[in-house]
Each structure stands twice: as C-alpha cells, then as structure tokens.
Amino acid sequence: MKNITKVISILKKWSKPYGLPTLRSTHKEKNPFKTLIACLLSLRTQDSNTRKATDALFSVADTPEKILKLPQKKLEKLIFSSGYYRNKAKTIKHVSKVLLQDHSGKVPSSLDDLMKIKGIGRKTATITRTFGFGKSDSIPTDVHVHVIANRLGLVKAKNPEQTEQQLMKIVPRKYWFELNTLFVLFGKHICITMSPFCSRCPIRKYCLRIGVKRSR
C-alpha cells in the first residue's frame, strides 16, 4: 500500500494525547527483564490490568533472583489483576529459573534464544527485543497490529506471524519500532476488534475495511 507513510504520519499526530502502552513504556528503563515479564503479564488482558500487575510485581521483585524467592501464592496475589494469574505465575517462575540457570540471570537478546524458553512465543520475543533492547529488526505483531493491518488492506494474512512477515516487506524500516505502539493505541481506542469506530476514524480514506462486518 502506497499510503503507509501517510497512515503512520496521521496516527503519530492522533496518538499524541494518549499515554504510552505499558509494554512500550518499559523501553525508557532499558531493562529487558521488565519488558519480558510485562509482556508475559499482558497476554489475554487489557493494558490497564497489565499496568496494575507490573506496578505491583516490580515494586517487590524486578529480577529473576527476587522472583524465584517469592512464594508462589504471593506472586499470584501480586499479579492477580492480569488474569490467568496461576498460569502466568508458573510461567514467570519458569522463565526466571531458566534465565538464572542458562543465561547468568540476563535476558538473551537473540530471537532464537528467547524462543527456546518455554512460555516465550514470537510476539513476546519480538516485544522484548524491540522495547527491552531497542532493536528494530522485527515488527512486534499482536492482535491489534494483525487486525488493523488486515482491515487496512496492508496485508492479507491468517495469523500474526504472517502479518509480521508481510508488514516487514512494505513498511519502511524507520517505522518498525513505533508501528506496534501506534496500532495498539489505535486498536484500543478506534479500530476496536469487535466493532471499530469507522465513523470517527482519522485514516478512513486509506482503509479498505477488509472483513469489517459491523462498525460504529
């Protein structure tokens, strides 16, 4: 799509009044461990719940050592607001253990090493590399990025992995870092998965509205 630069420029202006999503906001700390754990907590929940859980957890434990010292029940209580807290607590413990055992307590920066750890999928690995390490060699693609890119007609993909691969072919590299943040905010406020607010969409004239059956 020729208009990708225009779309990104409009979304940059549109997004200014909004605060950064939790995962993007971890970037300023340059702490890959916090980005990784925040991403694990963000799975299948809203950003506000992720924020509550990360604030509670990191005020008590923000390293693999400290997480492993937390009793399971206490960890579950700290991350309760993120939902699926029992499974997430198990995953966070496991990831912390592997980091200590195999990586001297540090988060590995390679995609392959990250994805070898049980519980870390491609999205979590790319988020960790992008926002934790500041590497811009992939486009973190969650459900918002996947849905919006397909609706716009930028890609024609069945899953986030395909969407990421297709986006990397058409989005200029200088936008790779910010694309996730822009689409996550846009998906939260306007291009909502269930029923988008097309009537107040600032990029409507660039959108093919592929697959949109119901809108507001």
Using CB under 6 A as the criterion, which residues of the chain lie in contact with ligand SF4 when the complex forms? 151-152, 190-191, 196-198, 201, 203-204, 207, 209, 212, 215
DSSP 42-64: HTTS-HHHHHHHHHHHHTT--SH
Q: For residue 50, give the nearest of 99, 97, 15, 85 by alpha carbon.
A: 85
Residue 85 or 183: the one with the smaller Cβ distance to ligand SF4 is 183
Residue 169 or 194: the one with the smaller Cβ distance to ligand SF4 is 194
Residue 171 or 207: the one with the smaller Cβ distance to ligand SF4 is 207
Residue 152 and residue 206 in contact, taking contact as beta carbons nearer than 8 Å: yes
Rounded to a whole number of angstroms, the minimum distance from the CB of residue 184 to ligand SF4 is: 13
Residue 128 and residue 32 in contact, taking contact as beta carbons nearer than 8 Å: yes
Residue 49 or 181: the one with the smaller Cβ distance to ligand SF4 is 181
Residue 115 or 198: the one with the smaller Cβ distance to ligand SF4 is 198
Rounded to a whole number of angstroms, the minimum distance from the CB of residue 140 to ligand SF4 is: 19
Residue 13 or 28: the one with the smaller Cβ distance to ligand SF4 is 13
The angle formed by the CA atoms of residues 204, 145 and 139, to the nearest 5 degrees, is 125
The angle formed by the CA atoms of residues 128, 64 and 101, to the nearest 5 degrees, is 95
Contacts of 143 (CB under 8 A, 6+ apart): 160, 187, 193
Contacts of 123 (CB under 8 A, 6+ apart): 39, 140, 141, 142, 160
- H/E stretch holding 124 reads helix 122-127
Pull the structure tokens for residue 196.
């988008």
Residue type, 66: K
Rounded to a whole number of angstroms, the minimum distance from the CB of residue 11 to ligand SF4 is: 10
Rounded to a whole number of angstroms, the minimum distance from the CB of residue 179 to ligand SF4 is: 14
Rounded to a whole number of angstroms, the minimum distance from the CB of residue 151 to ligand SF4 is: 4
Rounded to a whole number of angstroms, the minimum distance from the CB of residue 170 to ligand SF4 is: 16
